[in-house]
Amino acid sequence: MNFFETILWPLRWLVEVVLVLWHQLFTAMGMNAASGLTWVLSIIGLVIVVRSALIPVTVRQIKSQRRMMDIQPEMKKIQTKYKGKNDQFSREAMSRETMALYKKHGTNPFSSCLPILIQMPVFFSLFYVLRKASENTEGIGLMDRELTDSFNAASIFGAPLKMNFTQGWESQNWVVVGLLGAIVILMISSQFFTQLQIMSKNVSDETKASPMYRQQKIMLYIIPFAFLFSGVTFPLALNIYWMTSNIWTMAQQGIVINTMPNPGSDAWRARQERLRAKGKLTDDAPEGPASPALPQGQRQQPVSAKRAKKKK
């Protein structure tokens, strides 16, 4: 057992538990325990469990990304202020002001990566679980010999779940090649559309003029093609997990944009129009009272007629 397998041992055990429990559920419903479809549905069930657990963290990530884009005008002012100043005092001052800006808005560049960082160990744990099964090696938890043999022999539409694109090409299993090709296209498309939703619908007009927005727009056309590597390298079962997770992300992002749009964005204006059409919004003013609210628990003191006359 190598170093990474040792570190991921607890997560691998949990992945096996969730995967096997879903497999047992579908088997109890009358599905064939050795069927590839049963294993595919079990993998989809694993996605549902993992992504449901990550919903609070994902919402936090979305809000953090929104704040990061909103503070770009202020960030640009700090960068302009210290432009060309390379002495240690200026660098430290710029760093302090940047960190103070992050603290003020309750965000930082790393919080937007948190859900991905959390999900990657689960992804690699599943990779080890499926790889061990495809090598006909028993798991460390509920994946006993019988279930390992069942997965190892499972296929869908004639495509073994343990096979990757290279193996399918070498063995001339064109079903594997075709399925993985379609999955890669779906993963690239879903990733592109997810980012496009944010860039086109949920970004304020002010943020669209910032350098960070232009950089992210370039990355919009580059990042999705990273799935070409996973499509060629990883087995069919793992690509099914990743594709399902991508589709979940795309749907979740659409719901968040429609319900919690970034103020000043196209999605926000569309939401305002929907509220206006339902009679819940009468003008373009921000929702809620325009005047500053009194501190909680404090009421406005009554003014006598005599004092009111003095104020006039």
Arithmetic mean of pLDDT, 31-42: 91
pTM above 0.85, yes or no: no
67 compared with 17, residue with greater pLDDT = 17
Q: From residue 274, how far is each of 197, 200, 205, 256, 286 by CA, in Å?
A: 18, 19, 20, 16, 14
Arithmetic mean of pLDDT, 66-82: 77
Arithmetic mean of pLDDT, 155-164: 87
pLDDT in tens, 269-304: 888 888 888 877 655 444 443 333 434 444 445 555
How big, in percent rounded to 5, are the helix, strand and coil portions of the chain? Answer: 70, 0, 30
Q: What is the CA radius of gyration of the chain?
A: 26
pLDDT bucket at 207, cuts 50 / 70 / 90: low
Q: Rounded to an integer, what distance in angstroms lies between the CA atom of residue 201 and that of residue 182?
A: 27
- Per-residue burial over 110-131, b if 16 or more Cβ lie within 10 Å, else e, is ebbeebeeebebbbbbbbbbbb
Whether 98 shows a pLDDT value over 60: the answer reads: yes
Q: Which residues contact 111 (CB under 8 A, 6 or more apart)?
A: 60, 61, 64
Question: What is the predicted pLDDT for the residue at 292?
Answer: 38
Closest CA to 258 of 268, 273, 247, 249: 268
Q: Rounded to an integer, what distance in angstroms lies between the CA atom of residue 61 and that of residue 63?
A: 5
